[in-house]
């Protein structure tokens, strides 16, 4: 089966995760796809495939004869889709021999436009897969799941030299909990790649250091006619916090290695208010300085309005994987060599976000990220091509061959 055919089948399964849930996985519907994948792996002859209580699918492909001593290479993709947009009743449009122009997305009133996505003409002649405009597509990351599954099928049925190969499909990546119950011993890989990126040929081993800053503000409410030098309006303090942050350091104003403060939530009353940010930076030193800025704001406002007016909670989310991948640059070198031999131009990008691989790298499993062939994730304009998926699959197989050598 072609990778894109598998992807279309998986896309129909509703697997959206839920950031407000306290369970693991966050939604039980993710088991629907997990169980389907286990059955498919077993049908390919991978008899140790199973899904655990937390909805992680594990499977292992033994080495081909003569390659038993090769390093154990793992491949990881996530099953959930983002809660940013509807992930239910996904109905992909398949457009063969795409003409490179605008695409009407069903009867949704939305159009995938070249003016918004200038790369579209470069996909001319390919089989383009889009949404019908009412849902996201789920290529993030069911494309990665489909490519790994197709890789498994080829290793099991074709005479391809390979060492031991480890597979894991994870839940809840989209809500930052994809590694919460990841079992490194069950996975049993020496090194791994996540297949959770964009264009085929992309290699990511630099990502943001990430944290959250949550301010709770306690105001003092009194009749506004008697408020002189007495009232503390918690909502105004919230806006004051935002005004104390540097101008031009928001997601809209930054690119590549430039970090930011991102206001994600603000609200409340005169009595009580809240304001929340995510903080990002590739540099660990600047990331620390950004957190220090938040602490300084808390200190200044408590000095101004009284101790206890502002309470800051800082939390780290993930770290830049570069530090952990640098000692194992063979992962990057082999990926680049594989792409070059296939005639695919490799490119490395500092991702302005994070991957499960970042956390796994700090857990002791160096794990850069590879592109899957998809574009415009998390919304109704998401799209991918069958040929892009084939390229991503070919890259994975070539990497496996290199580690067999």
The residues annotated with a catalytic role in the active site are: 80, 173
Distances (CA, A) of 10 to 4, 28, 158, 287: 10, 16, 24, 38
**b or e along 76-108 (b: 16 or more beta carbons within 10 Å of the residue's beta carbon)?**
bbbbbbbbebbbeebebbebeebeeeebebeee
Give the whole-angstrom CA distance, residue 395 versus residue 331: 13
Instruction: Please give the Cα distance from 18 to 36 (Å, whole number).
Output: 21
Helix/strand/coil percent split, the chain, to 5: 35, 25, 40
- In sequence order, the 6+-apart residues with CB closer than 8 A to the CB of 379 are 84, 85, 136
Phi (first) and psi of residue 150, to 5 degrees: -70, -35
For residue 261, list its beta bridge partners: 279
């Amino acid at each position: 089966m072609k990778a894109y055919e598998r992807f279309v089948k998986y896309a129909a399964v509703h697997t959206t995760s839920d950031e407000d849930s306290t369970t693991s996985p966050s939604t039980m519907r993710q088991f629907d796809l997990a169980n389907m994948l286990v059955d498919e792996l077993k049908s390919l002859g991978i008899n140790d495939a199973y899904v655990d209580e937390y909805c992680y699918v594990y499977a292992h492909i033994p080495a081909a004869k003569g390659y038993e001593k090769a390093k154990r290479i793992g491949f990881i993709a996530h099953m959930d889709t983002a809660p940013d947009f509807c992930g239910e009743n996904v109905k992909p449009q398949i457009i063969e021999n795409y003409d490179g122009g605008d695409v009407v997305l069903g009867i949704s009133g939305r159009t995938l436009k070249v003016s918004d996505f200038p790369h579209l003409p470069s996909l001319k002649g390919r089989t383009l897969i889009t949404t019908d405009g009412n849902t996201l597509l789920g290529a993030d990351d069911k494309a990665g799941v489909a490519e790994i599954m197709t890789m498994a099928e080829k290793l099991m049925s074709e005479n391809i030299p390979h060492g031991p190969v480890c597979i894991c499909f994870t839940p809840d990546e989209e809500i930052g909990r994809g590694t919460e119950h990841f079992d490194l011993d069950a996975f049993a890989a020496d090194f791994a790649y996540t297949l959770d990126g964009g264009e085929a040929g992309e290699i990511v081993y630099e990502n943001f250091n990430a944290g959250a800053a949550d301010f709770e503000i306690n105001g003092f409410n009194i009749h506004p006619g008697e408020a002189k030098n007495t009232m503390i309006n918690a909502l105004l303090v919230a806006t004051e916090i935002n005004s104390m942050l540097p101008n031009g350091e928001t997601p809209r104003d930054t690119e590549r290695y430039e970090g930011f403060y991102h206001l994600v939530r603000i609200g409340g009353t005169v009595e009580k208010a809240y304001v929340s940010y995510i903080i990002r930076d590739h540099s660990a030193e600047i990331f620390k300085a950004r957190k220090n800025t938040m602490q300084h704001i808390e200190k200044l406002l408590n000095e101004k309005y009284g101790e206890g007016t502002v309470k800051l909670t800082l939390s780290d989310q993930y770290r830049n994987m570069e530090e952990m991948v640098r000692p194992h640059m063979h992962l990057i070198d082999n990926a680049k060599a594989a792409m070059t031999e296939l005639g695919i131009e490799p490119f490395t990008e500092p991702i302005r976000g994070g991957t499960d691989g970042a956390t796994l790298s700090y857990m002791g499993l160096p794990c850069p990220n590879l592109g899957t062939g998809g574009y415009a994730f998390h919304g109704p304009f998401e799209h991918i091509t069958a040929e892009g998926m084939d390229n991503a699959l070919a890259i994975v197989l070539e990497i496996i061959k290199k580690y067999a050598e």
